[in-house]
Amino acid sequence: MATLNPVRVTEQAHDLAAAVLQPGDIAIDATAGKGRDTAFLAKLVSATGQVHAFDIQAEAIQSTKNLLQIAGLSSQVSLHHRSHAEMKSALPPEHWGRVSVVLFNCGYLPGSNQKIATQPKSTIKALEAAYELLKPQGRIVCVAYTGHPGGREESSQIHDFADQCIARGDKVEKLNYHPTFARPWILAVTRQN
């Protein structure tokens, strides 16, 4: 079975997000990192939309801020230096139930402290909060990795979250997933109601 390289994984995650995003929409980048995913979402929602971007590392928030300034996208992005597990309380209540896309790119920031990686417990809390914030037909796109400490457990719990969404009747896609091979994969959940 063919596997995806990391660049292709990111491109596929972007394609899945772009398929449901329109100018004027609200989107969330749950793991801002160097800001590339935030900038991608910000371009798609345009100046009439809004992106909320989260990261627990000050360095990541600063990198994202710099990238947005260079790209002229700062006005449509709110940066939150806090855990994505707190995303619901960080968003203004008028955005609850109106979010079109929540994008997760799990793991650690390349070229940075590998110990500051996403963790199973907070990732699942954030996925549940993201689901609550979605509008009908809104989508969660989550890139899961297995290489960082706790990565296999995180990947397994993301898969359990996918099963809960299937049981609720949502549309669930698992790209590149394999139950035993440790490799990056993408979960896309499209909320049905």
Residues that bind ligand SAM (CB under 6 A): 31-37, 54-57, 60, 83-85, 105, 107-109, 116-118, 122
Give the nearest distance from C-beta 122 to ligand SAM in angstroms.
Answer: 4
Contact yes or no for 103/41 (Cβ under 8 A): yes
Give the nearest distance from C-beta 104 to ligand SAM in angstroms.
Answer: 8
**Residue number, 79 or 172, with CB nearest to ligand SAM:** 79
Rounded Cα gap, residues 163 and 94, in angstroms: 29
Q: Which residue is nearest to ligand SAM (CB)?
A: 33
**Residue number, 67 or 189, with CB nearest to ligand SAM:** 67
Rounded Cα gap, residues 45 and 48, in angstroms: 7
**Residue number, 6 or 169, with CB nearest to ligand SAM:** 6
Give the nearest distance from C-beta 178 to ligand SAM in angstroms.
Answer: 20
**Residue number, 4 or 56, with CB nearest to ligand SAM:** 56
HSE-up (13 A, CA, CB side) for residue 40: 21
What's the first-to-final CA gap in the chain, in angstroms? 34
Give the nearest distance from C-beta 39 to ligand SAM in angstroms.
Answer: 8
Six-digit token string for 171: 């549309």
**Residue number, 9 or 170, with CB nearest to ligand SAM:** 9
Helix (H), strand (E) counts: the chain: 6, 7
Give the nearest distance from C-beta 40 to ligand SAM in angstroms.
Answer: 8
DSSP reduced 3-state for 109: coil
Rounded Cα gap, residues 26 and 42, in angstroms: 9
